Chain A
Amino acid sequence: MRISMEVNGRGVEVDVEDRTSLADCLRDRLGLTGVHLGCEHGVCGACTVLLDGSSVRSCLLFAVQAAGHRVTTVEGLADGAGQGGLHPVQTAFMACHGLQCGFCTPGLVLTTCELLAEDPAPTAEEVRARLSGNLCRCTGYVKIFEAVDRAAELMRARSGTAAAPAGAAEDTR
């Protein structure tokens, strides 16, 4: 079946089987291997992508369900506007050692983008609750919390200035 959708700001058309998951479609058909598969049963969050700005588990969606929608993967975040061309959440994860093996990172970065788009200054409790759907086995989450705080600061500083919002902010505004 042929579907069309917008992926990272570009319109794409792709042939998929009915049973192809959105994750497999993004990874295998579109080469977006930043979408990671940690469980394929909806628990780990490694496969998180934004669908029209909201986080979804791409392992639990069929590709056909994304037809006509806007999909953002971690590859679509870096917009060239931030430091080194990165999205502030990416910058913050790097600055705070918010990743070790990096396997969970795309999902956590996207979940953080969604959170900060909704609430530019979340409380510690909100952050803990919001990230609890993304498992990380390496970091013990402590430095991820620091990264989220740092990202919030960076994004507030950015929206305080005249700089244009970044890709994710666009997706999630």
Chain B
Amino acid sequence: MTATDRGHRDEWVGRSVPRKEDLPLVTGHGRYVADIQLPGTAEVAFLRSPMAHARITGIDVSAALAGEGVVTVVTGADIRATVLPFTRFVDQEFTPPGLERAAHPVILPCPMPVLASERVRYVGEPVVAVVAADRALAEDAVALVDVTYEALPVVVDPVLAVQSGSPLVHDDITDNVQATFEVRAGDVDAAFAAAPHVERFNYETQRQAASPMETRGVLAVHTDVTDETTVWTSSQTPYMVRTRISEQLGIAEESIRVVVPDMGGGFGPKVQVYPEEVLLAHLARTLGRPVRWIEDRSEHMIATAHSRDQRHTVEVAFDDSGLITAIRDDFLMDAGAYNPFSITCAYNSAVHFRSVYQVPHFQVRGRCVLTNKTPNGPYRGCGRPEATFAMDRAVYQIARLLGLDPVEVMARNLIPADAMPYPRGMPYRDGQEVVYDCGDFPAALAQLRALSGYDEHARARQAQPTSTAVTRRGIGFASYIEGTGIGPYEGAVVMLDSLGRVVVRSGSAPHGQSHDTTMSQVAADVFGLNPDQIIFSAGDTSLVPNGIGTFASRSAVVAGSAVLLAGRRLEQRVRAIASELLEISAEDLVVDAGYVHVRGDATSRVSLADVYRAALPGPQARIPGGTEPGTRELQYFVPPTVTFGAGFLAATVSVDLETGGVVVERIDIIHDCGRMINPVVVEGQLQGGILQGIGGALYESVVYDENGQPLTTTFMDYLLPTSAEVPEIRQIHLATTSDRNPLGVKGVGEAGAIAPPAAIANAVADALRPLEVELNRLPLSPPTVIEAITRAQR
């Protein structure tokens, strides 16, 4: 079926239609997990380790058990026989052969208990769960639990952790390196030997907390009648929660239903399956009443995964023109006390390191290092902001050494448009060779350069190379590339309900991304309906048999494509059934506005409700020969591999030389996310990502002291960007259609967050010229900037 004979194809996709999700949310009728009230619910509070590393020598719960309103108190010993520890984590199901061959990952077992019973390895690790009539009483009883600890030596710094003699976080991982890989493309050694210049740089991206405004929360209930356990959880991956509960409690996935209600943001840390989710399912089953746990913010800051936290040592080989011939990168990721994501984030750093640049020879080793901190997981960008910070700072630094304009050096190293599709000589995380599918990077950079006013700025700087002003302005550029829409698959059900309405169910659940609106736009085009007429739901494992989740800029690509495929199948089926009813060839029928009518004759028609009834099983069924009854199509979209979004970002900043304060005045971004389903939603994703990137560049940092005590457990200490920090943001959308999915889209969820730290650091370096400042450590807080200035002045 072509676009023209459909007539209404593309009517909704591509338009900024208003969101379907908003009405309940603006009126206070959203249903986040903390808002769901089930009668008889008991509340859970956790006693968490106050020690970074210690042996548990005793737990006395007797006083807590006698506490007012206490239902039960559970320790690790109590559940040893019934609740298994975490031995596999998200995305660790298997290493694809292509990745195995190229990167030889070594991933050591690192089981994580649901409740620690012998040893605690980070402040915040759950030790005892108290169940009581309400949360306040549960917290009162937590204070009555008496745990005795014997302190163990603590390791906080990942650089020290890999040195011999360091305390071990897990005794059988003898160098604290839980996972490692090494991958190369081209002939790095020869390129280094032949290079006119070789430089070495160190880059460090701090530990961050993604900080969704809603913390985590779980509500679990078991129904004897159906022998089903239902778990509502604020999670990006309901199916993985179901799998872990099934494996760790030893019950079939078929008797577990995981539902994600409205969700107040995710951004990565809610991809992980956590001890609380498994434990609450167990408690609901054993206590026979609903149980609920709502994380508080201070708990969140130590109990929910942190992110970033990488240290790169980068060697760059380049010629006099600034053309980079080879890079060697050796980096550590501070994984914290367990490493739930194995090499996911680290390998992302490796695979995206070279960004939009040619760099024909490349070698990278990544090591995930255990320390006594909260485990590290993905956060918007997932390894890419870290790599981009290193790569684009390096471009600026070599330009500086050669006395060249950094943006010229960027341009010189870009992959030319006529080289697309461009293979990178190494596999993606899915094991498939990385091949950038499309895009014109040089043209995009030139466009952004013009938009940002860089040339005028550079000319003015040339005219007046030194300045005595206290506040200086700088413009810095950075790039990004992003494999989006990773598999292995996503599922969708598209069906008619008994009223003849089109119902869409997605395996990927939203937490702010506007799935209802955008997927309804996709389905509306298939059926000639208005998006408001599509009944959409997601985030419920009972609706689509299998699914993956919402992360890695994948939903529009894989879930959207699944909706399109299932929708097209249903549309065909609907016409085939109507063809039986109208006794005319399906080819001559059009589905539109709730009816199937004869092409060119809108009065010869049947309604979708008629079609629904005609497809019910039984002797009266009017279904096409050889097919099953019903009007429900389930499709899984399996992408061949990721599709690459890309872009450039320019930051204009002013720097106060006396205070070290940096103000981001403007962000200009040019980005390619393929075809846009809803441009305003895309803009919103970019703007949100950019502000998070600014937070990472300037403000946010999770800090531990040398004893492994976290110092940033409130929003007074962990600084998020507010409305007062918002720069002017200008965007140029490019839309190079991807041929790796039927919608032609590329993901955009993470795009805005990747380049800001590198661009802002480059802008600060630019502002401080002719001083040669090293700005290789984030965040660029006022003391860091002052220190860099002072060092440069020496």
Question: Which A residues form the contact surface with B (CB < 8 A)?
Answer: 17, 19-20, 27, 31-41, 43-44, 46, 73-75, 77-78, 84, 86, 90, 93-95, 97, 99-106, 109, 127-129, 131-145
Contacts and interface: CB of A to CB of B under 8 A. Distances in A.
A32 B34 CA distance: 12
A35 B726 CA distance: 26
Contacts of B26: 74, 86, 90, 93-94, 99, 102, 105-106, 109
A94 B723 contact: no
9 contacts: A44-B297, A94-B19, A100-B688, A103-B32, A103-B214, A131-B722, A139-B688, A140-B691, A143-B684
A66 B21 CA distance: 32
B25 interface: yes
Question: Which of A35, A73, A100 has the largest count of B CB atoms less than 10 A from its CB?
Answer: A100
Contacts, number: 177
Nearest to B21: A102
A68 to B, nearest CB: 24
Given A132-B723, A137-B688, A143-B687, A99 B264 contact: no
A36 B297 contact: no
Nearest to B266: A101
A19 B684 contact: no
Given A39-B297, A104-B213, A34 B27 contact: yes
Contacts of B32: 33, 36, 103
A58 to B, nearest CB: 13
A116 to B, nearest CB: 15
Size class of the B contact interface (CB-based, 8 Å):
35 or more
B24 to A, nearest CB: 8
Given A94-B22, A100-B684, A86 B27 contact: yes
Contacts of B263: 101
A140 B731 CA distance: 14
Contacts of A77: 27
Interface of B: 18-19, 21-23, 25-32, 34-35, 37, 136, 211-215, 262-265, 267, 296-298, 511-514, 680-681, 683-684, 686-692, 714-716, 720, 722-724, 726, 729, 752
B729 A142 contact: yes
A137 B265 contact: yes
B305 to A, nearest CB: 16
A137 B720 contact: yes
A166 to B, nearest CB: 13
Nearest to A127: B723
A102 B22 contact: yes
A138 B265 contact: yes
Given A86-B27, A103-B32, A39 B715 contact: yes
Given A94-B18, A132-B723, A135-B213, A34 B715 contact: no
B578 to A, nearest CB: 36
Nearest to A134: B723
Contacts of B18: 94-95, 97
Contacts of A104: 213, 264
Contacts of B688: 100, 137-140
